[in-house]
Structure formats: structure tokens, C-alpha cells
């Protein structure tokens, strides 16, 4: 592979990121690098490219809307934005009281949710926002304060105050609410960046009960799990609970950047004019793409494919060498290995033309397109099995 992310003098062109390969185009579940190398993309841009690459629905939405209207100030509404808000309310099941704030990414949607939590807390004299150990809510300063990982947080201390991190256990949850002062609790139904770790059975149901009892908001970060990724539009819908607010991003634009905060019930009354806004958030181009993507997922019943292909992948992968167990839901899959060699497996897979990643030392994550079928799964199993075999052989070699 050419290391053409450096300039002619060998200096890095980018300050951070982008070291594995130089990708220049994609089609369906495949991407190609600048040397013509072809890869099967089972990471999907980290749970983003839900329709794969260069999908005609996305191309048409971008090109048609680009020729009509890309941006207006937020003094004005646009039909695309109103359609998206109403569609998200319907899919999230907010009923009439729901409201939507459109942002440009997941972190931004979470920042909006943090401000929602503060508005609620300040109204009721509650100062603490709870977050969970293992959580990832983003890298901006507010979201970072809710992302309790030393490597991410420590260089940027002091962090936003009024945040308490607890273990994701029902006992810790009950203790934190018993201590009082809780304005809101933030949680991901499945902790994607931690290694596709689902919350313990009953955790979110109990969080809903306690939040209601203590007049706190239950705010779900579904940036990775939402927009159909787990086989329901939102992962919490598997549990039959209703949050006070939910954030999405990643798959909702199938690669076009956008995010959203969706509020339920009285949480929808907290923001008032002047308290928040975004120049680009909710622009008609991003909104048109999200409308087209969500409509396509719905009309093609792609959530059924997400559920079925997810189950098929988890079953087939469970039988492979080095695999201890699998977890996740739909097409957000964590493959737990019986040794901390996930980074080696991901690197080996890349050299064999498969894009996956290792969110934890012993976990491989898959987040492929909702459109995958028999041929993509067969190709994945071929390359993934060969990669596991190669790493297992290397391990034996090293042990000798
Ligand atoms: C990716 C992610 C974010 C951050 O979203 P960006 O679009 O990168 O800002 C926040 N929360 C969760 C759960 C995520 O997976």
C-alpha cells in the first residue's frame, strides 16, 4: 500500500486519523483504495453506511436536492426538514408532543441533550447528570465529560462539572438515584465503542422507573444503535420503554452527516427560542437525504433483513476458531475472541481485503450495510475465517 497520506517531504498531511489505507471509491458493500485494492466493508464507516456505498437512493436525494436548495438560515423552515421531523417523531413513537432538533453529528445531538438535561435540572433544582462507565458520547467538551475514559478525558481536564459516572449495574443505578440530585441519566442501550456491550438485563427498565420516580430525564444515546441498526428503529423499542429523549446520527444519513435529538412528552417543552441553535443543522440537503434513506429502509422492509442477517452472522461466526462468543443485536455485532488479539485479526483481515475493527482488545465489531445478502456473508466468512486461522497459527508459533 502506498503511504500517500504524507506529503513529498514525508510530513503528515492530517493532524489525526486516516492511516490504514487511502480509499477513493465504493459500490455496495465494497470499497477500493488508490492502488486499486478492493475491500469488503463490514464496518460500514462505523455503523454509518447503512445502504452501502454509492447507493442510487442516496445519490438521487443528494443530486436532486442540491439543484433545488442546499441551505437557508434557521429563520426559515423547509419542507424537507419538516418532513424529517415528522418522520422521526413517527418512527420514535413520540406522539403529538414529540419534538425534533436537527444537528450535524452524534456528538452535537448529545451536546443538545446535555443542555436539555441542564434546562430540566435547573428548573427543578437537580444538579447531577449520571453517565455509565464504558460509555462513549463524543469528544466535544460536554460529551467528553460523559465519556469516562482516562485516555480521552485526562488531557482535557478540568471537565464540565456536575457529572457522575457509575457502573452499568442495577445496584449502582439504585444507589445513585437514592443519593438524590439526579437531573438526568445518559445511556447507550448497547455500548458500541466499549466493544458492543449490551447493558445488563433489566437495566434500562429500572432506569426508566427510577428516572420517573425521581423526576429525572432518561436520555438514550442511540447514535450507533438507532436508525434501524439493531432491527428496530431504536434499540430501546426492543424493551418497550419510552425515554424522555433520544439522540441519533451515524446511519440516519447513510453517510451524509446529520444527527438529531428527539424529545418525548414534557421534555419537549424545555427548549425555548434563544436557548440553542445550529447554522447547518437541519439543512434541506441533509434532511432530504435522511428522508430518502429512512423511506427506503421502510419501503424495502430492510429491518427484517437486518434482524435475519444479524442472526445468521452471529450463528455462523460462533463456530469459528478463536471465537468465544458473540453479542449485540441486528447488524451491530461484537465478536468476543478467547484472546486479546482483535487488533491482529482486524489488521490481518485488512491485508486480505476485509474492513472490520477492534473496539476492545478481545472484540471485533461488525456494522455492515442493511442490504447485505448471501454473497456478502459468504465473502465475509471466507476472509474472516482465514484471518482467524492466520492469527491462531501466529499465536502458536509465538508460544513455541
Ligand atoms: C459515534 C458515536 C457518537 C459520536 O457521534 P459523531 O457523529 O462522531 O459526533 C456518540 N455516541 C455514540 C454512542 C456513538 O457511537
Residue with CA nearest ligand 1 atom 6:
106
In a mutational test of the pocket of ligand 1, which residue from 16, 103, 192, 224 has the highest number of ligand atoms less than 8 Å from its CB? 224
At 2, the pLDDT band (50, 70, 90 cuts) reads: very low
Among 382, 102, 40, smallest CA distance to 249 is for 102
Place of cell 442493511: 370
DSSP-derived 3-state class of residue 300: coil
State how far the Cα of 315 lies from the Cα of 35, in Å rounded to an integer: 35
In tens, the pLDDT along 90-120 reads 999 999 999 999 999 999 999 999 999 999 9
Classify residue 87 as exposed, middle or buried by CB count within 10 Å of its CB (0-12, 13-18, 19+). Answer: middle
The torsion angles phi and psi of 218, rounded to 5 degrees, stand at -100, 110
In a mutational test of the pocket of ligand 1, which residue from 111, 113, 132, 136 has the highest number of ligand atoms less than 8 Å from its CB? 136
Statement: residue 331 has pLDDT above 60: yes
The CB of 223 under 6 Å from ligand 1? The reply is yes
In tens, the pLDDT along 110-164 reads 999 999 999 999 999 999 999 999 999 999 999 999 999 999 999 999 999 999 9
**In this structure, what DSSP letter does residue 160 have?**
P
In tens, the pLDDT along 265-323 reads 999 999 999 999 999 999 999 999 999 999 999 999 999 999 999 999 999 999 999 99
Domain architecture of the chain: domains with CATH: 15-55+301-399 (3.90.1150.10), 58-299 (3.40.640.10)
Statement: residue 5 has pLDDT above 80: no
In a mutational test of the pocket of ligand 1, which residue from 107, 112, 220 has the highest number of ligand atoms less than 8 Å from its CB? 107
State how far the Cα of 311 lies from the Cα of 314, in Å rounded to an integer: 5
Evaluate whether 228 touches 48 at the Cβ level (below 8 Å): no
What whole-number percentage of the chain has pLDDT above 70? Answer: 99
User: For residue 4, what pLDDT is reported?
Assistant: 61
Residue with CA nearest ligand 1 atom 5:
106
In tens, the pLDDT along 240-269 reads 999 999 999 999 999 999 999 999 999 999
The CB of 39 under 6 Å from ligand 1? The reply is no
Q: Please report which helix (H) or strand (E) contains residue 64, including its range.
A: helix 56-66
User: For residue 14, what pLDDT is reported?
Assistant: 82
The CB of 99 under 6 Å from ligand 1? The reply is no
User: For residue 3, what pLDDT is reported?
Assistant: 53
- Tell me the pTM: 0.97
The CB of 329 under 6 Å from ligand 1? The reply is no
User: For residue 9, what pLDDT is reported?
Assistant: 87
Indicate the angle between helix axes 374-399 and 302-318, nearest 10 degrees: 30
Distance of CA 131 from the midpoint of ligand 1 (Å): 15
Distance of CA 138 from the midpoint of ligand 1 (Å): 5
Statement: residue 16 has pLDDT above 90: no
Mean pLDDT of 365-383: 98
The torsion angles phi and psi of 185, rounded to 5 degrees, stand at -125, 130
State how far the Cα of 80 lies from the Cα of 290, in Å rounded to an integer: 9
Mean pLDDT of 69-75: 96
Active site positions, annotated: 136, 221, 250
DSSP-derived 3-state class of residue 51: coil
Statement: residue 217 has pLDDT above 90: yes
Which of 77-81, 181-185, 268-272, 393-397 is the least confident region?
393-397
State how far the Cα of 108 lies from the Cα of 112, in Å rounded to an integer: 6
State how far the Cα of 372 lies from the Cα of 302, in Å rounded to an integer: 10
Among 322, 318, 297, smallest CA distance to 230 is for 297
State how far the Cα of 47 lies from the Cα of 229, in Å rounded to an integer: 8
State how far the Cα of 134 lies from the Cα of 148, in Å rounded to an integer: 7
Q: Residue 142 to residues 131, 137, 222: CA-CA distances in angstroms?
A: 12, 9, 17
User: For residue 124, what pLDDT is reported?
Assistant: 98
State how far the Cα of 395 lies from the Cα of 400, in Å rounded to an integer: 9
Distance of CA 47 from the midpoint of ligand 1 (Å): 10
User: For residue 395, what pLDDT is reported?
Assistant: 87
| Contacts for 269 with CB less than 8 Å, ≥ 6 apart | none
Pairing state of beta strands 259-263 and 99-103?
antiparallel
Residue with CA nearest ligand 1 atom 10:
137
In tens, the pLDDT along 352-367 reads 999 999 999 999 999 9
- DSSP string for 163-231: EEEE-SSHHHHHHHHHT--EEEEEE-SEETTTTSEEPPTTHHHHHHHHHHHTT-EEEEE-TTTTTTTTS
Amino acid at each position: 500500500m502506498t503511504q500517500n497520506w504524507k506529503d513529498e517531504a514525508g510530513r503528515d498531511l492530517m493532524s489525526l486519523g486516516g492511516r490504514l489505507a487511502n480509499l477513493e471509491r465504493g459500490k455496495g458493500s465494497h470499497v477500493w483504495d488508490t492502488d486499486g485494492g478492493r475491500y469488503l466493508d463490514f464496518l460500514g464507516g462505523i455503523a454509518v453506511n447503512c445502504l452501502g456505498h454509492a447507493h442510487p437512493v442516496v445519490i438521487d436525494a443528494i443530486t436532486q436536492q442540491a439543484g433545488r436548495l442546499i441551505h437557508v438560515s434557521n429563520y426559515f423552515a423547509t419542507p424537507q426538514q419538516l418532513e424529517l421531523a415528522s418522520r422521526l417523531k413517527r418512527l420514535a413513537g413520540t406522539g403529538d408532543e414529540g419534538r425534533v432538533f436537527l444537528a450535524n453529528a452524534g456528538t452535537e445531538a448529545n451536546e443538545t441533550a446535555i443542555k436539555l438535561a441542564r434546562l430540566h435540572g435547573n428548573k427543578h433544582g437537580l444538579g447531577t447528570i449520571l453517565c455509565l462507565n464504558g460509555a462513549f458520547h463524543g469528544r466535544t467538551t460536554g460529551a467528553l465529560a460523559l465519556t469516562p475514559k482516562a485516555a480521552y478525558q485526562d488531557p482535557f481536564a478540568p471537565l464540565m462539572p456536575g457529572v457522575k459516572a457509575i457502573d452499568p449495574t442495577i445496584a449502582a443505578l439504585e444507589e445513585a438515584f437514592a443519593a438524590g440530585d439526579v437531573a438526568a441519566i445518559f445511556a447507550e442501550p448497547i455500548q458500541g465503542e466499549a466493544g458492543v456491550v449490551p447493558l445488563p438485563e433489566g437495566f434500562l427498565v429500572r432506569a426508566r422507573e427510577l428516572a420517573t420516580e425521581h423526576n429525572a430525564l432518561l436520555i438514550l444515546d442511540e447514535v450507533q444503535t438507532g436508525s434501524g441498526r439493531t432491527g428496530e428503529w431504536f434499540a430501546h423499542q426492543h424493551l418497550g420503554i419510552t425515554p424522555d429523549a433520544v439522540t441519533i446520527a451515524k446511519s440516519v444519513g447513510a453517510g451524509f452527516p446529520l444527527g438529531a435529538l428527539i424529545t418525548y412528552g414534557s421534555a419537549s417543552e424545555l427548549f425555548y427560542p434563544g436557548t440553542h441553535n445550529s447554522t447547518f443543522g437541519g439543512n434541506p440537503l441533509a434532511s432530504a437525504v435522511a428522508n430518502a434513506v429512512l423511506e427506503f429502509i421502510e419501503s424495502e422492509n430492510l429491518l427484517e433483513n437486518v434482524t435475519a442477517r444479524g442472526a445468521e452472522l452471529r450463528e455462523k461466526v460462533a463456530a469459528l476458531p478463536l471465537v468465544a462468543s458473540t453479542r449485540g443485536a441486528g447488524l451491530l455485532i461484537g465478536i468476543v475472541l478467547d484472546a486479546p488479539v482483535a487488533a491482529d485479526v482486524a489488521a490481518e483481515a485488512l491485508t486480505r481485503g476485509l474492513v472490520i475493527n477492534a473496539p476492545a482488545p478481545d472484540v471485533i465489531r461488525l456494522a455492515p450495510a442493511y442490504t447485505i445478502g448471501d454473497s456478502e456473508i459468504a465473502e465475509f466468512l471466507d476472509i474472516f475465517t482465514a484471518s482467524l486461522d492466520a492469527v491462531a497459527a501466529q499465536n502458536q508459533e509465538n508460544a513455541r
